[in-house]
Structures are given as C-alpha cells and as structure tokens.
Amino acid sequence: MTARTLYEKIWDAHVIEQREDGTCLIYIDRHLVHEVTSPQAFEGLRLATRKVRRPDLTLAVADHNVPTTARVDSRGARLAIGDPRSAEQLAALEANVAEFKVPYIEATAAEQGIVHVVGPEQGFTLPGTTVVCGDSHTAAHGALGALAFGIGTSEVEHVLATQTLLLRPSKTMEVRVEGRLGFAVSAKDVILSIIGRLGAAGGTGFVIEYRGSTFRDMSIEARLTVANMSIEAGARSGLFAPDEKTFAYLKDRPMSPKGDAWLESVERWRTLHTDDGASFDSSLRLDASEIAPSVTWGTSPEDVLPITGTVPDPESFVDSSKQAAARKALDYMGLTPGTSLQDVTVEHIFIGSCTNSRIEDLRQAADVVRGRKINSAIKQALVVPGSGLVKRQAEAEGLDRIFTEAGFEWREPGCSMCLAMNPDKVPPQERCASTSNRNFVGRQGPGARTHLLSPAMAAAAAVTGRLTDVRELVK
C-alpha cells in the first residue's frame, strides 16, 4: 500500500462516499455541543421533526456564557445568572438537551468546564476519531490523535441529524521542531513562534501534523496547548500521533474504553502514525533552541516577538498590506515603534481559556507568583481553571492559596475573559496579559488591548505590572 500520513489514515477510515467533485461524506465519531452555536441547530431539528441520530456520541457542556463567580448559594441552591442573554442561552441549552436526550454536564456539576478541557479529561476524545464542535478551537483535541475541527451552526444541525458531514479533504503540512526547549520556554511560546513563522493564513487548507523530538517530549497538556492554536495559523486542525503518553493519559478516564475494549483500542491506536516514506504537501522546521518566551504586540496571533524584542516599525515589513495592517494594529494597541516590549505596562491579567487552563498551566503560573504579590498597577488578575476537576486538583495542591495570597481572584471554570461573551471583560483602552488564544480587536471587550503569552509570562506580568521576561524572576 502507498505510504500515508496520519491525517490520511484517519480521513480514509471515515469516508462513507466520495463524489465526482472530490467532496466526501465523512462519518463523525464525536460531537461536542455548547450553548452558543447549538440553539439554532436544535431549532432546525425541531422544525424538521428530526431527532438527534446518535445522542450517545454527543456531549453538551455550558462554558462560554456561564459566570465564573459563585454559582450556588450557601445552601447549595443555584444562583441566577445576572446577564439576561447569558441566562437565556444557558436555559435554551438545558431545555434542548432534555428534549433531545443529549448527555449534558450541568453548569454546577463537578465535571463542568470548558468543552475543550472536558472532552479530553473525560475520555470522550479518543485517538483516530473525528471530533467536531461549533467552536474553532476544537483543534485542541488533535493532541490526542483525533481529527478535530470546528464547524458552523448549520453543520452542527447536520451532525446532530445524520452523524455525518460533507467535506473536501485537506492538504497536509508537517511542522517539525527538534531539540530541547530553553529555560522557561513553554508550549505556548512554541505555538506562537510557529504562527509567527507561518502567518495567520499560512495553514489555510491544511491539517498540520506536529512532529519531532520537541513535541514527543511534551506532556499531553502541552500538546493540547499547541493543537488548540493550530486554527490561529489558519489550519483546519492539528494532529499529534498518539503514543504511550497518550495511552497513559486516557486510561481509566470515565468515557474511555474499558477491559478488553481498552486493550483492543490501544493496539489499533498504535497504528496511527505517519508511515515512513509518506509525503506532506508542505513543511516547516524549527530549532527548539531558537524559541524564546514570546508575546504578541498587535491584533493577530501572528504579530508575535520574543519578549526581549521591541515594537516593530510598520515600514520594516516588505509587503505594503502588512505595513498597513501593522499601522492599524499599533494604533489600536496604543503602541509606538521602537518601544521595548518589557516597557509595556498592563492593567489586567487573565490566566485561563481552553489554551492554558489545565493543571500544568496553573502550576507554572503559581511557581512564578509563589511568595510574591501582584503589582499595585494591576486592576484585576483572574485565574480561571478549565474545569471543576482541574479546580479541585489545584485546590488540593494549594495552588489556589498561592494565587489568592498574591492578590489574584480564584474563579469557577468557564471561558471567562477569553472572549467578551460574559461578565469578565477588559475595559476599553486597557491592556491585558492573557493566556488565551486570540488578540483580535475587541476580543476581550470593546477597545480592549490583548497581549498573548504563556501562564508563566502572565504571572510575571502580574508581579511587575508590565510585560516581563519570566526568566528574570525564576533564575
């Protein structure tokens, strides 16, 4: 047989029918649903008098709109959601999952959290499966060897009704990073550096496979960070070949296979790798030693530099359209060319999101702030665990006390300040050091200025009140 890439193996295994124009009907193994993109989809089913074809392969979680402040009172009764739109969307989700008999992790359940944190930690996400959700950062699940991608509302309805999608195959891209990462350099710095090289559209039309010793050495949580931001380079999805770390992570998860089914699954998962001799349509290679703690300066994740750099001059870009974009970005961000990135002050700190809210992320941030206080210039500093299970583990390890003693707010799980769809927002013209995935105009609130960085770098900014090289604080 012809040597195939990991993507081609998963794709081929899920093609039901191929049409003359190359479009394929693809079987979908897992469908994650949240409160933002599902109401219209369920209403479409209702109007067409259709049922959810495979509710057992669907999992609903509320995350975007749920408040990250207390959700129950002292008696355990659920508190009302103050924002009317958020309350309406959550109520709609709960009514829909009850009507269509879709499994649902309730907003006050211990397992509740961000959908892209919950899926892997529950074992709902498995190697070799196709995973979709009405959310672009579904790419995160590719860290476990799943072909995972975001879909639109009409496609959400189509999957609910048929457990299939009509798609064209993607091109393949290898991103290979070799070597050991430097001191205090994280997975977030790696993916930001990759996006900086590829550009925000460099991966358009591709599925990226992450290969090389640097990625093999990463924990599953670090791989989830990398895969999560594949979409920020324009890629459809990001993939890691499952390995022993993957199997150890998934073993005994609530929804993982059990007994003989587990053994059979692992044997099958071991075949999910790119064959020797398989070719990619495109390739990018980086040396891990050249990657440094990084931060964004503009309004796209591709606007990224090492923290030791300076705000670029728009005229330094060769392409005229990039020059215009840089001028517009700097005007929005309130930055002057030539300014040292480490001289940029911040007022808000956000540690959370589906990119960086897992226990490993919180540990890295806590290591920086342990025994320190946040700077007096910081108006708000939030730590938002990715799920109730992450929150409980962090509390068992005493991380919550480290954060609160330093001056942070310790919150309930949710998407929170990653996007302006709930009460956690950055005020206009104020600046946030954020571990989230997007620094678009208005992403964290109208006029908000966002700098993307790692959890350790966000913690360093909290301590100093400015963008800071974390290596100066943790020698």
Express each pLDDT in 228-256 by its tens digit.
Answer: 999 999 999 999 999 999 999 999 999 99
Tell me: pLDDT of 1 over 90.
no
Render the burial of 291-328: b for 16+ CB within 10 Å, e for the rest: bbbbbbbbbbbbbbbbbeebbbebeeeeeeeeeebbee
Tell whether 121 is covered by a domain. yes
Tell whether 358 is covered by a domain. yes
Tell me: pLDDT of 361 over 90.
yes
Question: Mean of the pLDDT values across residues 90-110?
Answer: 96
Tell whether 364 is covered by a domain. yes
User: Could you tell me if 47 and 389 are in contact, meaning their C-beta atoms sit under 8 angstroms apart?
Assistant: no
Tell whether 427 is covered by a domain. yes
Please give the helix or strand (H or E) that residue 391 lies within, else none: helix 388-396
Question: Mean of the pLDDT values across residues 58-80?
Answer: 91
pLDDT level of residue 73 (50, 70, 90 thresholds): confident
Overall pTM > 0.85: yes
Question: Mean of the pLDDT values across residues 122-141?
Answer: 98
Please give the mean pLDDT across all residues of the chain. 97
Q: Does residue 181 share a domain with residue 114?
A: no
Tell whether 330 is covered by a domain. yes
pLDDT level of residue 10 (50, 70, 90 thresholds): very high
Torsion on CA atoms 419, 187, 413, 460, rounded to nearest 10: -80
Tell me: pLDDT of 59 over 80.
yes
CATH (domain of 338): 3.30.499.10
The whole-number pLDDT of residue 147 equals 98
Tell me: pLDDT of 47 over 90.
yes
**Rounded Cα distance, 151 and 443, in Å:** 20
Closest CA to 110 of 76, 65, 142: 76
- Pick the last residue of a domain from 261, 290, 319: 290
Q: Does residue 178 share a domain with residue 255?
A: yes
Q: Report how many domains make up the chain.
A: 3
**Rounded Cα distance, 216 and 355, in Å:** 19
Residue 88 token pair: 């309406």
- Pick the last residue of a domain from 257, 290, 323: 290
Q: Does residue 329 share a domain with residue 462?
A: yes
Question: Mean of the pLDDT values across residues 185-196?
Answer: 98
Tell me: pLDDT of 332 over 80.
yes
Q: Does residue 271 share a domain with residue 134?
A: no
Please give the helix or strand (H or E) that residue 392 lies within, else none: helix 388-396
Q: Does residue 124 share a domain with residue 191?
A: no
The whole-number pLDDT of residue 108 equals 92
Tell me: pLDDT of 475 over 80.
no
Tell me: pLDDT of 91 over 90.
yes
Continuous H helices in 77-186: 84-100, 115-122, 153-162
User: Could you tell me if 52 and 100 are in contact, meaning their C-beta atoms sit under 8 angstroms apart?
Assistant: yes
Full residue range of the structural domain in which residue 210 is found: 171-290
Question: In angstroms, how far apart are the furthest CA atoms of the chain?
Answer: 64
Q: Does residue 202 share a domain with residue 122?
A: no
Tell whether 236 is covered by a domain. yes
Q: Does residue 310 share a domain with residue 407?
A: yes
Question: Mean of the pLDDT values across residues 1-5?
Answer: 91
Q: Does residue 383 share a domain with residue 319?
A: yes
Closest CA to 176 of 140, 223, 217, 209: 209
Q: Does residue 361 share a domain with residue 212?
A: no
Walk across the sheet containing 24-27 and list its strands: 15-18, 24-27, 164-167
Q: Does residue 392 share a domain with residue 344?
A: yes
The whole-number pLDDT of residue 72 equals 87
Tell me: pLDDT of 25 over 80.
yes
Question: Mean of the pLDDT values across residues 72-84?
Answer: 86
* Other Cβ atoms within 10 Å of 177 Cβ, number: 25
pLDDT level of residue 162 (50, 70, 90 thresholds): very high
pLDDT level of residue 74 (50, 70, 90 thresholds): confident
Tell whether 1 is covered by a domain. no
CATH (domain of 228): 3.40.1060.10
Q: Does residue 15 share a domain with residue 142?
A: yes
Tell me: pLDDT of 52 over 80.
yes
Tell whether 419 is covered by a domain. yes
The whole-number pLDDT of residue 77 equals 83
Continuous H helices in 18-83: 39-47
- Pick the last residue of a domain from 290, 316, 334: 290
Q: Does residue 194 share a domain with residue 180?
A: yes
The whole-number pLDDT of residue 178 equals 98
Indicate the range of 85-94, 298-307, 449-458 predicted with least confidence: 85-94
Closest CA to 63 of 380, 399, 418: 418
